[in-house]
Structure 1
Amino acid sequence: MDGRYDDRALVVDDTLVVADLHVGRGTGGNLEFPVGSGTDVVERFRSLVERHDPETAVVAGDLLHSFRTVPRTVEDTVAGLKAACRDGGARLVVTPGNHDTMLDSVWDGPVEREYRIGDTVVLHGHEAPESDADRYVVGHDHPTIVIEGQRRPCYLVGTGQYEGSDVVMLPSFNRLNAGVVVNELSAADFQSPLLTDVDRLEPIVWDESARQTRSFPPLGEFRRML
């Protein structure tokens, strides 16, 4: 698959794609995660922009977490993402996800249901796409995989997954998100309608310490190896 993997993101041509930032999770009544997660998201996002110098950065849905009112920390984090793109000369685009119910309150930039990069279309993935494409890049399910007892966020790459087109599912960019273990899941267990043949999905894990990806066999074969 054409594209570069880096810290839960994907770079396609001159476009940086991240998914499921869930900015604001942990700041509401149910403190599942530490409040400092926003700073981590901004710092890592800025590093990606500096490393890859994209023309455009796309959030593939769920920029925000669901809440009734927007905490000030959410506004600060979104401002930090904007600043990272502004300083790097990149345009920031959001493709809304199912959690982005309050997006208008903090985001006044470009919003597109689906964002096209040549033959690739980026969208959140909670609904079927409207556009035809050779490849879809999505988020939504927050995939992780357990290898030798250790849980790791992973990309899932599948050929011919949706009406003959390839699909790449990104892990949640918020690394405090526990994610969903995909080892034993069936297609019916995924929330995204774009994943239809789980046995053919190939997990790819970003090894932060080595700064490289580690590829594994398709899940159908991988399960037999465990």
Structure 2
Amino acid sequence: MTVSYDDRALLRDRTLVVADLHIGRGTGGNLELPVGSGSDMVQRFQSLVDRHDPDEVVVAGDLLHSFQTVPRSVESTVAGIKKACREVGARLIVTPGNHDTMLDSVWDGPTETEFRIGETVVCHGHDAPEADADRYVVGHDHPTISIEGQRQPCYLVGSGQYRDSDVVMLPSFNKLNAGVEVNEMRASDFQSPLVTDADRLEPVVWDESGRETLSFPPLGEFRRML
């Protein structure tokens, strides 16, 4: 599978995948503005779909943050995400995550527990998938990595991680999520059951300033270098 990365998202052919938007996080204060006031998330999402003009966009779980309430600003942000897809003619699909208990209140589009792109299956990653695949693309753990004292959101790419299939874990698309530092984590420390050998996970960091990806050795080797 040939993939490319851009601003915490993954692109596979004509399909764009994002994970863990957690829309609504920070709505108790001024951390997240409604769409009409220039939501950072919607602007970034709009830029992504404009750059790549995908046929479909898949949210790999946790579109929403709250388990109990859906503030008006959440509805506005979801509407902004829908509008961005509609303007480029992209179909938007949600694979629900563990936070998406209120999804029906703001989302009436297609949902699939596991979404297949050829031999790749996209799901949130909080539960073990039922479908067989050559590669699983997931979210859920919000990986970050600390390099020279600075934490960066990262992708984690692992071969033969689950049922001898590869796993790609995406960072949270929401910049308000601090994320989990994976430098010293073992497989048992991850919440996703798809991670079975953390030492073989290779971190990939998207460098916004250079608009390029920076690849690092597997965590097992990376730890010995620090």
TM-score range, shorter-chain basis?
over 0.9
Measure, in 2, the Cα distance between the counterparts of 1:40 and 1:121: 28
**Do structure 1's residue 111 and structure 2's residue 111 form an aligned pair?**
yes
Measure, in 2, the Cα distance between the counterparts of 1:222 and 1:69: 41
Measure, in 1, the Cα distance between the counterparts of 2:128 and 2:173: 22
Q: Indicate the residue corresponding to 2:32 in structure 1.
A: 35
> Normalising to structure 2: TM-score of the pair?
0.96
Q: Is the contact made by 1:37 and 1:176 (CA closer than 8 Å) also made in structure 2? A: no
Counterpart code for 2:91 = R
**Do structure 1's residue 170 and structure 2's residue 170 form an aligned pair?**
yes
Measure, in 2, the Cα distance between the counterparts of 1:48 and 1:164: 32
Post-superposition offset of 1:37: 8.1
Q: Is the contact made by 2:33 and 2:73 (CA closer than 8 Å) also made in structure 1? A: no
Measure, in 1, the Cα distance between the counterparts of 2:118 and 2:196: 24
Q: Is the contact made by 1:58 and 1:94 (CA closer than 8 Å) also made in structure 2? A: yes
> Please, which moves more after superposition, 178-187 or 67-76?
67-76
Counterpart code for 1:160 = G
Provide the identity percentage: 76
Map of 1:135-150 to 2, 5 A cutoff?
135-150=135-150
Q: Is the contact made by 1:57 and 1:90 (CA closer than 8 Å) also made in structure 2? A: yes
Cα RMSD of the aligned pairs, angstroms, is: 1.2
Post-superposition offset of 1:67: 3.6
Counterpart code for 2:85 = C
Post-superposition offset of 1:69: 2.0
Gaps of 5+ in 1: none
Q: Indicate the residue corresponding to 1:8 in structure 2.
A: 8
SS at structure 2 position matched to 1:101: helix
Q: Indicate the residue corresponding to 1:96 in structure 2.
A: 96
SS at structure 1 position matched to 2:75: helix
Measure, in 2, the Cα distance between the counterparts of 1:195 and 1:130: 15
Q: Indicate the residue corresponding to 1:184 in structure 2.
A: 184
Q: Which runs of 4+ in 1 moved over 4 A?
A: none
Post-superposition offset of 1:164: 0.1
Q: Is the contact made by 1:37 and 1:174 (CA closer than 8 Å) also made in structure 2? A: no
- C-alpha distance after superposition, 1:156-213 (max 9, x if no partner): 0000000100000000000121000000001000000000000000000000000000
SS at structure 1 position matched to 2:145: strand
Post-superposition offset of 1:106: 0.1
The size of the alignment, in residue pairs, is 223
Distance 1:75 1:37, change over 3 A: closer
